[in-house]
Amino acid sequence: MKRILTLLALSLVACNKPSEDLMRNGFRVQIIGHGGCGVSGINQPLPFNSLESILRAVTFYNADGIETDVQLSKDGVLFLFREAALEAESSCSGCIQQYTAAEVEQCRFRTFSASTTAYHIGRLATVLQQFSQRKIKPLLFLDLHPELSCISDPLEKEAYYERVAVALAALLSQYQAQEWVWIQSSYNPWLRKCRDKGLQVLKDVTDKAVPDALPETAAAARVSGIAANNRYISAGQVAEARGYGLVVQIHGERSKQGLADALGKAPDYLLTDNIPLLQQMLGGN
């Protein structure tokens, strides 16, 4: 009986909101919507990375920010799209780099339940324009994926990375967005190009164990922070990175248990596919 009561007490302790101690100290983990309101699903009808999903995350859910993926069209316009191949998530086929902006804008998103939707692939400039007019600027994390299925030549790839960095710097300057936009990538040379153009960059260590020395090397490399999958970063590494003045973004968790574990590590930013669930866990208002 005593053992049962002990187990019950332990389970109640475990059920407490993990962020309560942090909240008491005035620290709040900021909620970042993954691709807007999250990956589309039964509870989330809007396509991932669509303008509609991104705007809903900040206007309806009042998320602190969003994370989205960026690619450059043939004529140098930045679009919000994740996959290297258009057919993976849209009605078009090929790669964004092969099409002009006018052609990309004709592509419609696909979701898990519909082969085409009414939602078109949107421009980054539209989001920046909308966000820049808001009184409280939402945070915007732009993920740059180095995988390019339609460009195989290494020199061409490097030229593409440079063009993206130049386009980002120009666009962020146009909307005075350098303060609230972060660039993140797993590819160091690309990050350096962005950093050298005055952009805030996060070193993304997706799907890899975070090396023990990463916070130190990241600080030395003059990146502003690190982004890591929750499975591969410890609470100690988060604290160490913060000690070096780096911000920490954690991603890769969908379940309530996983989000609770990530909250316990006290990152600055936590990516989620379910904004209301994370808000519930943070204790609502």
Partner 1 sequence: MHRYRMKVGLGICLLCCLYLRATGQQFKPLKGIGLNGAAGFSYTGINTFLTPAVYLGRHCIYGGPQFSLSRSYFFSRGIWGINAGYRYTVLVARRWSALVLADFQSFCTVPYNPHRLPVNSRNLIRELQAGLGLYYHPVPSWHIGLELGAGVVQERFEDLSEQKTRYSSGMTQMLRLSTGILIWKK
Residues that bind partner 1 (CB under 8 A): 28, 42-45, 56, 58-62, 64, 112-114, 134-136, 256, 274-277, 279-280, 284-285
How far is CA 143 from its chain centroid? 6
Least distance from C-beta 63 to partner 1, angstroms?
Answer: 9
Query: Which residue, chain included where needed, has tokens 């915007």?
Result: 140
Task: Using the minimum distance from each CB to partner 1, give the nearer residue, 17 or 74.
Answer: 17
Instruction: Please state the closest distance from residue 157 (CB atom) to partner 1, in A.
Output: 36
Asked whether the beta carbons of 107 and 91 are under 8 A apart, the reply is yes
Q: How far apart are CA 102 and CA 238, in angstroms?
A: 43
Residue with Cβ nearer partner 1 (137 or 195): 137
Q: Which is nearer to partner 1, 114 or 151 (CB)?
A: 114
Distance between CA atoms of residues 149 and 93, nearest Å: 12
CB of 8 to partner 1, least distance (A): 21
Residue 183 has φ and ψ, to the nearest 5°, of -105, 130
Q: How far is the CB of 80 from partner 1 (least distance, A)?
A: 20
**DSSP for 220-261, written as a single string:** HTT-SEEEEEGGG--HHHHHHHHHTT-EEEEE---SHHHHHH
Contacts of residue 246, defined as CB under 8 A and 6 or more positions apart, other chains included, come to: 215, 218, 219, 223, 224, 225, 226
Q: Which is nearer to partner 1, 234 or 279 (CB)?
A: 279
The angle at the Cα of 62, spanning 207 to 114, to the nearest 5 degrees, equals: 65
Give whichever of 30 and 234 is closer to partner 1, judged by the CB atom: 30
Pick 6 or 62: Cβ nearer partner 1 = 62
- Least distance in angstroms from the C-beta of 239 to partner 1: 23
